[in-house]
Amino acid sequence: MTSGETIRIGGAEYGGTFAVESSGALGFVLPGELVQGVGSNGLPRIAEASADRVTPRCEHFGACGGCQYQHAAYDVQVGMKAEILRGIFAQTGLQDVPAIRTRHAEAWGYRNRIRLRVERGADGFRVGYSRRGTNDFLPIRECPIAAPLLWRAAEALTKLGGVDANSGRWLAATSEVELFCDGGESRLQMTFYLREASRDGGSFPGFCGRIQAAVPELVGAGAELDPELNRRVRRRWDGLAWGSPGLSYEAAGRTYWVSRGAFFQVNRWLVDRLVELVCADSAGTLAWDLFAGVGLFTRVLAERFGRVVAVEVGVEAAADLAIAGKGGKGRPAFEAVHASTLDFLKGNELQRERPELIVLDPPRAGVGSEAAAILARIGAAQVVYCSCDPVTLARDLAVLTRDAYRIESVDLVDMFPQTFHLETVVRLVRR
């Protein structure tokens, strides 16, 4: 877009951009707005603003690469996401898709996990994210979508680095830090990703102790090499640990153990609702929970099915899943399998006993066409697909609905307010 060009904005597109009259797309605008050139901040200059435009809550919005929708009223954000989802389904050729139901909750302070970059400047240590569209460091003073405990802990880190020499040394060696808390903000875990292996591991407990004195919710911390470093180098150092290796997370009326580094749903306001949608009133003899994580859905299914098989490939989550699968203390047991979903499906496609329900909760890459084809051949009575990427979801649904299934319901669960990301729960029933 040239500095003096005037264009009218079209509909929202997946990825945080909006269509324009001629061609291409723009971000940080809204449907129907008139844009005239680009301002000195690199953002579109709004000549005619939409009535749906609001003042962003975060001072870093537009510069930070994290959020794309803070300038839109929240109900409008949800509506745009539903329209985007419908459009992707239509482009993929999916037919007979029922009306999309939307589910949402509080739009701020929802994230139970954030990962911050750490840099040392002339005025001390700073934390931040990447500047929009680049890998440049953007120091930040707030993150309104994060649980308040996470930001309070981040501020404590930067202050400690300026007053405590040992803390300063550890922060100077840190490229990124991940913070994860439980839904009630009573327990906190930290993982420090280091630029090089530490030769002074004995001082790590002292560093963590100083953090805990400032942030009493801290129950454990770890240090490991930055994943961007060469894998050969990473294998030379086992990392460091202090305190508890994980934390207890209350969700859906149950207590889950989540090891440091294991996946757990990020929106602390909507975890319970997500479990309700996925598990609903399902019951029967056999269920499979694929991409099971630490067993968020598995635990509920194990109370309703005679037998449940849960499959997870991630090392940390699979270990937590295996422990949970032993049951005890009034909890039913289930079978935990450490494997990729594709390998599991290949090995079980010809088994005589077929599940009545299969739950899928893959990462953004989706299930994949090969696994979807096997699922179609297995032919469980119901499949519930929980997706965090509508493009790969539509691709996989095209395979599942070709002959084997029809879509019974679609729920858009806004797990990621202020961003273009969206969660979708699709329930399929055998034709």
- Catalytic positions: 388
Tell me the C-alpha distance between 386 and 403, whole Å: 21
Per residue, the 3-state secondary structure of 282-314, as one string, reads CCEEEEEEECCCCCCCHHHHHCCEEEEEEEECC
Given a contact cutoff of 8 angstroms between Cβ atoms, the answer to whether 425 and 103 are in contact is no
Q: How many helices (H) and strands (E) does the chain have?
A: 11, 22
Beta bridge pairs of residue 101: 411
CA-to-CA dists, residue 20 to 35, 68, 258, angstroms: 10, 17, 44
Q: Which residues pair with 132 in a beta bridge?
A: none
Whole-number Å distance between alpha carbons of 421 and 402: 27
The count of other CB atoms within 10 Å of the CB of residue 307 is 17
CB atoms within 10 A of CB 55: 7
Alpha-carbon distance of 380 to 428, in angstroms, equals 10
User: How buried is 165 (Cβ within 10 angstroms: 0-12 exposed, 13-18 middle, 19+ buried)?
Assistant: exposed
DSSP 8-state class, residue 64 = B
| Structure tokens given for 361 | 């909760």
Contact predicate 404/430, CB 8 Å: yes
CB-based contacts of 285, cutoff 8 Å, min separation 6: 305, 306, 307, 356
Residue entry with tokens 């049951």: 327
E strand segments, 82-172: 100-103, 113-121, 124-130, 137-139
Choose among 250, 262, 251: nearest CA to 319.
Answer: 262
**Cα dihedral 235, 236, 242, 246 in deg (nearest 10):** 10
**Nearest Cα residue to 359 out of 393, 385, 377:** 385
Could you tell me the two tokens for 104?
């949402």
